[in-house]
A and B are shown apart, each in its own frame.
Chain A
C-alpha cells in the first residue's frame, strides 16, 4: 500500500473511530459529576480496613494487588527483553574495551570541575534520601515503590552525567542491582504466597496493621511498596546501564 493510500485509508477509519468515540461518550457523565460507587466506598473503608492514609496505594498494593503483581511482571519482562536484545556479543565487547580506554584518555583531557563534582555528590545524597523517603512512605503520603524507585534509579544517572563514567560503571555493575531487580519481583510474589500458609487467600494481609499514620503501619502495603521500590530501582538502573553501554559501543563502531 502506498503511503498516500494508507493516509486516505487512515483518515476514513479515523473519522469512523471518532464517530464511535462520540457515540460511546454520548451518555457518559459530564466532567466532575462522579457517579461510580467504588471510589467512594474504598475511600471510606481503606482507613479502617488497612490503616493506610494513602488510598491510591492501598488500592494499588492491596485491593487490586493481584493486578499490580501482573503489572510488576510486565515491567520485569520488559527489562528482561531489553537485556536480552542488548546481550553482549564477543566482537563488540572488545570494541567496548578499546572505547573505554579512549574515554579514560578523554577524561584526562577534560578533568571534571570541582563545582560539578561537589554539586553532583550533594545531588546524589539528596536523591537517595528523597527516593527512600518516597518509597517508604507510600502508605501514608503520595508516593510508593514505583515513584521512589524511579527517583533512586536516577541517582546513578546523575553520576554519569557529571562525567564520572567510571564510578557509574562501578555502581551499575554491582550484583546488588540485579539482586534488587529480581528480589523485588520475587518478594512481591512471596509476600502474596505467604498468606496461603496461614490458610488465607493470596495477598491477604498477615502482618500486624499498626497505628494509622505510623511509618510501620498498614501491614503488607508498606512491605510490598518497599519491594516494588527495590525492583523498579534495579530495573531502571539495568535499563540505563544497557543503553549507555550500547551508546559507547555504537560510538566505537563509528570510529
Chain B
C-alpha cells in the first residue's frame, strides 16, 4: 500500500480539486481549485521518476554514472509550474472582467449570455 502512496495521493488531490470546481460558489475559489487539481500532476510525475537511492540529476559535483532520479519528468514539471502561474493570472483576469460585466463572481448566477 505504501509503495503506491504517490498514485493514491495524486488521485486524491485530483478528485478534491475537481470537487472544488464542481461545487464552487466563487470564481476565484474555482480558479484556485483548478490550481489544486493541477498539482496532482506534480505528485504523479515525481512519483514516476523517483528511484530508490537516486540523487538529483545534476552532475556538477557528482561523477557521471551515479544513480539519479529521472530528469525527464522534472523537466516536464519545471515548465508546467511557470506556465500554470501565468494561466492562473489569465483566468483570474477573466474573473475580474466577469465581475465588472455581470457584477457577480458566483458561477451559479452567470447563466445568461450577454454581449
**Interface residues in chain A, defined as those with a beta carbon under 8 Å from any beta carbon in chain B:** 3, 6-7, 10, 14, 17-18, 21-22, 25, 28, 30-34, 36, 38-40, 42-44, 47, 53-60, 64, 67-68, 71, 74-75, 78-79, 81-82, 85-86, 140-142, 144, 146-147, 149-150, 213, 232, 235-236, 239, 242-243, 246
Asked if B89 and A239 sit within 8 Å, CB to CB, the answer is: yes
CB distance from A222 to the nearest CB of B (A): 14
Asked if A39 and B82 sit within 8 Å, CB to CB, the answer is: no
| Interface flag for B50 (CB, 8 Å) | yes
Specify the chain B residue showing the minimal Cβ separation from A47: B64
Residues of A within 8 A of B90 (CB): 78, 81-82, 85
Residues of B within 8 A of A55 (CB): 57-59, 68, 71
| Interface of chain B, main secondary structure | helix
| Interface of chain A, main secondary structure | helix
Which of A6, A59, A78 contacts B71 (CB under 8 A)?
Answer: A59
Asked if A38 and B70 sit within 8 Å, CB to CB, the answer is: yes
Asked if B51 and A32 sit within 8 Å, CB to CB, the answer is: yes
Could you list 19 A-B pairs, sorted by A, with CB under 8 Å? A18-B11, A28-B7, A31-B5, A34-B50, A34-B69, A38-B70, A43-B57, A53-B58, A56-B57, A67-B79, A75-B86, A78-B86, A81-B90, A82-B89, A82-B93, A141-B58, A149-B82, A150-B82, A242-B93
Q: How many residues of B contact A (CB 8 A)?
A: 51
Asked if A38 and B72 sit within 8 Å, CB to CB, the answer is: yes
Contact with A along B22-64 (1 / 0, CB 8 A): 1100000000000000000000000111111010111110001
Residues of B within 8 A of A246 (CB): 96
CB contacts under 8 Å to A, within B1-34, are 2-7, 11, 14-15, 18-19, 22-23
| Cα-based distance from A54 to B62 in the complex (angstroms) | 11
Asked if A68 and B79 sit within 8 Å, CB to CB, the answer is: yes
Asked if A14 and B60 sit within 8 Å, CB to CB, the answer is: no
Asked if A25 and B4 sit within 8 Å, CB to CB, the answer is: yes
| Interface flag for B75 (CB, 8 Å) | yes
CB distance from B36 to the nearest CB of A (A): 15
Asked if B71 and A42 sit within 8 Å, CB to CB, the answer is: yes
Residues of A within 8 A of B6 (CB): 31
CB distance from A41 to the nearest CB of B (A): 10
| Cα-based distance from A203 to B34 in the complex (angstroms) | 33
| Cα-based distance from A50 to B67 in the complex (angstroms) | 20
With A25-B4, A28-B48, A141-B58 known, 11 other A-B pairs at CB within 8 A are: A10-B23, A18-B15, A22-B11, A31-B4, A39-B71, A56-B74, A60-B75, A78-B87, A86-B93, A144-B78, A213-B60
Which of A34, A74, A213 contacts B51 (CB under 8 A)?
Answer: A34
| Interface flag for B115 (CB, 8 Å) | no
Which of B18, B73, B89 contacts A78 (CB under 8 A)?
Answer: B89
